[in-house]
Amino acid sequence: MPSQIVTLTVNGSPQELIAHPSTTLLRALRENLGLTGTKRGCAQGACGTCTVLLDGEPVVSCLVPVVTVDGAEVTTVEGLADADGGLSPLQQAFLDNFAQQCGFCTPGMLMTSCALLRRTPAPTRDEVDEGLSGNVCRCTGYEPIVAAVLDAAGRTSAEVGS
C-alpha cells in the first residue's frame, strides 16, 4: 500500500505529512515534523517516554500507527510553553524541584503529568504515584518528580484562586 497523507493539529498548528504504513505517531512527530522533544524509549509501550496528548488524552505514541489518527489533535512537550516561550507552571515546577537528571524521560513525564492534572487538579501523593506509574525514570529521580507535580498542582490552584 502506498504512503498516504495524514493531517494532524499539532500544538495548535495544522500539519500535513506523508506517512508510510509503518510510520508511528512517534516517528511522524520526530522525523516528519521535526518535533524531537518526544523521545523513543522502548518502542514497546512499556516506558512512557514517548507519551504525548492525543485529543487531550495521554498515549504512548510508539504504539499508534499515525494513519489511524488522521485528523487528531496532538500536544507534545514543545506545546507546553506559551507562545512567548514562558514556561507552564508544570514546567517551572519541574525546573524548581530538580525533577530531572538525564532529562530523557522528562518530556513523557511532563505530558503524563499534564493530563493527570487536567483530570485531577489537586491530586494526592498517592494519585500522583498511580498517575506516573507508566513512566520510567531510570535515573530513579521519582521523588523530585512527584514533588514537582504536587507543587505544580498547588501553583495552578493558587493562580485560579487569585
Residues 91-120 that bind other proteins (CB under 8 A): 91, 94-98, 100, 102-107, 110, 112, 115-116
- From the list 2, 1, 17, the residue with the least C-alpha distance to 71 is 17
Residues 65-84 that bind other proteins (CB under 8 A): 65, 67-70, 76-78, 80-81
- What is the distance between the terminal CA atoms of the chain, rounded to a whole angstrom? 55
Binding of other proteins at residue 22 (CB under 8 A)? yes
Report the alpha-carbon distance of residue 145 to residue 121 in Å, rounded. Answer: 16
Report the alpha-carbon distance of residue 88 to residue 82 in Å, rounded. Answer: 7
**Closest to other proteins by CB, 40 or 157:** 40
Q: Tell me the number of residues near other proteins by CB under 8 A.
A: 75
**Closest to other proteins by CB, 8 or 97:** 97
Binding of other proteins at residue 62 (CB under 8 A)? yes
In the complex, minimum distance from the CB of residue 14 to other proteins, in angstroms, rounded to a whole number: 20
Q: Which three cell numbers stand for residue 53?
A: 496528548
Binding of other proteins at residue 145 (CB under 8 A)? no
Task: Please report, for residues 46, 67, 120, the alpha-carbon distance to residue 134 in angstroms, rounded to integers and kept in the order given.
Answer: 7, 25, 17
Binding of other proteins at residue 141 (CB under 8 A)? no
